[in-house]
Amino acid sequence: MEHTIFYIIVAIIVFDYVLERLLDYLNATRRSTELPKELEGIYDVEKYRKSQEYDKVKSRFSLLTSTLSLAAMLLLLFLGGFAWLDDFVRGYTTNPILMALMFFGILGFAADILSTPLSIYSTFDIEEKFGFNKTTPRTFVLDKLKGWLLGAIIGGGLLALVVWIYTATGEWFWVIAWAVIGGFTIFMTMFYSNLIVPLFNKQTPLEEGDLRKKIEAFAEKVGFQLKNIYVMDGSKRSTKANAYFTGLGKKKRIVLFDTLIKDHTDEELVSVLAHEIGHYKKKHTLTGTILSLAQTGLTLFILSLFLSNPALSSALGASDPSFHMSILAFGLLYGPISLALGLIMNIISRKNEFAADRYAGENYAAAPLQDALKKLSVNHLSNLRPHPAYVFFYYSHPPLLARLKALESVK
């Protein structure tokens, strides 16, 4: 049976790679050296050509990274790399918690080290070439170190707790693990911006002035209690702009990137905030959290059905079954289910984005939101004519032209 599982894992990995390449090819067929008529008034000729070059360069880089990833994974599978690492950690301990921590710690650290040159190239060559990068080498190194520290503390802590729950509870493992992970998810939803973001970025309250008055006036108009409006120094790493809504209840917070404020008018910024408030008013934040928790529960339930099967560990070459080898094999086998769930979540997300746009258009104004979306797309050199199949698989937000068209009906 382990041989069957092994080849199913290989087939899933290869299928994912082929699907990704096919979607990239379909997307590439939509590129054009001439400014399409539907983009006139959004892009000028020079900026459009630059966006097409940016898309082409990113696609080539994606081909390189995914090919290297595929090659590395197949080598590890066929040469018994995972089994070798399993034997290595067993030489130091037989405690299931320590084995899992060592196994995934070494695996994750090695993968990150090997991918660092690609990350450096992406940041300091590609993003630099197209005028986006503001990351300094010092910031890059500090981000890496902080990422490793958080991964060790949070990732390692959760992993150790999950392994302990499995060894202590048996058949009720998935229920208790779901409760623990669910509780952590809710905690991070409420406090991520307070606890994690400050390790990487400064967040300062939006200063008093016309913009804050306009935002507060709109929030009061729609009955949205808003005390926490923050500006984040996104320009520390990139010229790209963004805004996001986070938290639940009294802990909710709206964060604007300083780059967003720099490039947009007050009316455009209020319309963007109206969109974010629309997500809250339409309960997208709450339903998103519930769906995420449901997906976690489903994953853990399916995992519990297979985890005790020694064939999972054997499929990766392990001589003795273990939690860490079984969960790794399960993670690789789970790919098709994860893909299907991801597609469903993207469909829901795109629907929610249309609804939030409509809320902003109806309760504030559609025109400034259209202008803001155009600016964001042009400033990010976004590909505004993606292939429909690419959108279906990858886009959590609708393409710009679809959003602009939908907003026309609100005017």
Average pLDDT over residues 75-82: 94
pLDDT tens by residue, 98-146: 999 999 999 999 999 999 999 999 999 999 999 999 999 999 999 999 9
Is the predicted pLDDT of residue 162 greater than 90, yes or no? Answer: yes
User: For the chain, give me the number of helices (H) and strands (E)?
Assistant: 18, 4
Global pTM exceeds 0.75: yes
B/e letters for 343-375, b = 16+ CB within 10 Å, e = fewer, are: eeebeebbebbebbbbbbbebbbbbbbbbbbbb
Burial 145-161 (b: 16+ CB within 10 A, else e): eeeeeeeeeeebeebeb
Q: Are 134 and 239 in contact (CB under 8 A)?
A: yes
Closest to 303 measured CA to CA, from 158, 171, 186, 159 = 171
Catalytic, 357? Answer: yes
Give the integer Cα–Cα distance in Å for 107 and 155: 13
Percent of the chain with pLDDT over 70: 100
DSSP H or E run through 4: helix 2-28
Q: What DSSP state is assigned to residue 39?
A: G
pLDDT in tens, 342-364: 999 999 999 999 999 999 999 99
What are the Cα distances from residue 395, in Å, to 277, 343, 348, 389? 21, 9, 11, 10
Tell which residue, 260, 224, 284, has the closest CA to residue 379.
Answer: 260
Instruction: Identify the pLDDT of residue 320.
Output: 87
Query: 357, 362, 371, 408: which is the annotated catalytic residue?
Result: 357
d(CA 305, CA 356): 39
pLDDT tens per residue across span 219-231: 899 988 877 789 9
Q: What is the structure's pLDDT at 346?
A: 95
What pLDDT score was predicted for residue 245? 79
From the list 16, 24, 268, 276, the catalytic residue is: 276
> Is 276 a catalytic site residue?
yes
pLDDT-derived band at 308 (thresholds 50, 70, 90) equals confident
CA 312 – CA 395 distance, rounded (Å): 33
**Could you read off the pLDDT of 362-410 as tens digits, one per residue?**
999 999 999 999 999 999 999 999 999 999 999 999 999 999 999 998 8
Can you give the pLDDT at residue 171?
76
Mean pLDDT, the chain, as a whole number? 92
What is the pLDDT averaged over residues 83-93? 94
Name the phi and psi angles at 147, rounded to 5: -60, -45
Task: Give the residue ranges of DSSP H helices in 29-172.
Answer: 45-78, 81-90, 96-121, 127-129, 137-150, 156-169
